[in-house]
Amino acid sequence: MLEIKRNAYSKIDWFTLHINNVSTDFYDVYVYNVYDTGTVWTATAHAVTAVIGSGVLAVPWSVAQMGWIYGPLSLFGFAIITYICAILLCDCYRAPDPVKGQRNPSYMDAVQSTLGKKEVLMCAIAQYSLLWGTMVGYAITAATSMLSIRRANCYHKKGPEAVDCEPSGNSFLLIFGAINMVLSQIPNLEKVTFLSVIAATMSICYSFLALYLCVAKFVSHPDPKGTLTGVEVGSNGLTMTSKLFQSFQALGNIAFSYTYAQLLIEIERATLCSIALTTAFYVSLGCMGYLAFGNDAPGNVLTAFHEPFWLVDLANIGVVIHLTAAFQASPTALVMAVTVFTAMMFPFFNAVLGLMGSIAFFPLTVYLPVRMHLTQVNLKIGGLKWCALQGLCLVAFVVSIISAVGSVADIADRLKHAKLFSADL
């Protein structure tokens, strides 16, 4: 029997353990210090709390752009695609064999062990672009929530007709950046478990509060709103081209909401449960928000509420706490400064989310999992399954391209009518 000392684990390789009939779970514990103690329910909880975040606030707006037909269909469509690719990705958790192979502790490790350096470069570019873009989106969202707190309190005090309740968003972006720069100086703050617990709790709280506020608004005025095809051409001067661009951007917003491929390689259980719960919540909030606001659904649904001011404040405080905690993934003050600077230049919530969704959806959610699966199982070229997976990649590529075009077009159009560094959140 092979004898292995705990302090010599760094010299152990998977092959040595395999030829001595030592289980790979033993290898996982000694090399990665990983103990598989989770359950389906804990995995589901981790996945759901990680996925449901600030992106959910844009779902009612996304549904409004496409209407009662294409809005819910898009939510279900992205859920199905994400589930299929999640199953493929989970099989890459170990390589080269999906059952007995060596554990891949991260998404990039799975790509490297299965595909090689070229795809690792693609993965790195997509991951870091998504990370930085998400930070910009987080800064915009947090500043918007801080402004919403100020606005709700002002309207509550001075009345809904007050004209001086719209402060500039720049000050709130700077405040958010300053807070995170101070927190970034605390060593290893991103490794504090309690911080993750607070962030996850806040994300669930403000998401359900947003759903409650939408339900309450509809119940108080039970007049179903919305149209089959969403925002209509001609309303508020909307052209057909702008309508298409906004619909494309909405696809990017939904794609961003479902982009959590990097998580699945670390939490490989309960994929169906987590995606089902997430989709149910997205559809509920998207449809209730559209019922309540119709084609006038705001880009960030929380910005539409002013009363009850204490509940609105509570939801927005949850957003700020969640995103402040999430920001600690980037510990350097320089990154914080560049992120806030970029957010002040492009303070466009839906456009930024749509662009991030387009960047991540094709390469991270679909293409790389499919490529890794094809490499592992060595499918026959031209077979039915091979053709289906190639078709899936083509659809994802088209969605990413058109959502990127829609988001960039919206940014360009907004810049024509906005002053530089004058954030209108």
The reply to whether 10 and 153 lie within a common domain is no
The reply to whether 20 and 43 lie within a common domain is no
Question: How many Cβ atoms from other residues are within 10 Å of residue 284's Cβ?
Answer: 15
Check if the beta carbon of residue 53 is closer than 8 Å to that of residue 203.
Answer: yes
Q: CA 125, CA 145: separation in Å to the nearest integer? A: 30
DSSP state of 96: S
Residue with tokens 């906004």: 246
- Residue at 289 is within a domain: yes
Q: CA 307, CA 147: separation in Å to the nearest integer? A: 15
Check if the beta carbon of residue 56 is closer than 8 Å to that of residue 285.
Answer: yes
- Residue at 6 is within a domain: yes
User: Which run of H or of E encompasses 103?
Assistant: strand 102-103
**In the beta sheet, which residues pair with residue 103?**
94
The reply to whether 2 and 88 lie within a common domain is no
Burial call 353-380: b when 16+ CB within 10 Å, e when fewer: bbbbbbbbbbbbbbbbbbbbbbbbeeee
Please enumerate in sequence order all residues whose Cβ is within 8 A of that of 199, keeping only pairs 6 or more positions apart, or say none.
321, 322, 325, 326
- Residue at 343 is within a domain: yes
Question: How many Cβ atoms from other residues are within 10 Å of residue 57's Cβ?
Answer: 29
User: pLDDT below 70 — which residues of the chain?
Assistant: 1-54, 96-98, 189-193, 260-271, 328-331, 420-425
Report the number of distinct structural domains present in the chain.
2
pTM (two decimals): 0.84
Q: Could you give the residue ranges of the DSSP H alpha helices within 55-116?
A: 59-90, 107-114
Q: CA 341, CA 163: separation in Å to the nearest integer? A: 28
- Residue at 69 is within a domain: yes
pLDDT digits (tens, 9 = 90+) for 80-122: 998 888 888 877 877 766 677 778 778 888 888 888 888 889 8
Question: How many Cβ atoms from other residues are within 10 Å of residue 341's Cβ?
Answer: 14
Using DSSP's 3-state secondary structure scheme, residue 101 falls into: coil
DSSP state of 265: T
* pLDDT, position 37: 56
pLDDT digits (tens, 9 = 90+) for 343-384: 888 888 889 888 988 988 999 889 999 998 888 888 888 889
The reply to whether 363 and 259 lie within a common domain is yes
* Structural domain harbouring 3: 1-37
CA distances 99 to 39, 90, 94, 103, 264, Å, are 18, 11, 7, 10, 16
* pLDDT, position 347: 86
> Nearest CA to 242 among 56, 358, 399, 405?
405
Domain of residue 333, CATH code: 1.20.1740.10
The reply to whether 29 and 91 lie within a common domain is no
The reply to whether 209 and 144 lie within a common domain is yes
- Residue at 425 is within a domain: no
Residue type, 285: L
Q: CA 33, CA 197: separation in Å to the nearest integer? A: 22
The reply to whether 19 and 58 lie within a common domain is no
- Residue at 423 is within a domain: no
The reply to whether 7 and 130 lie within a common domain is no
Q: CA 127, CA 123: separation in Å to the nearest integer? A: 6
Residues in the chain, overall count: 425
CA 161 to chain CA centroid, Å, is 36
Please enumerate in sequence order all residues whose Cβ is within 8 A of that of 318, keeping only pairs 6 or more positions apart, or say none.
202, 203, 205, 206, 209
Q: CA 398, CA 196: separation in Å to the nearest integer? A: 35
- Residue at 424 is within a domain: no
- Residue at 422 is within a domain: no
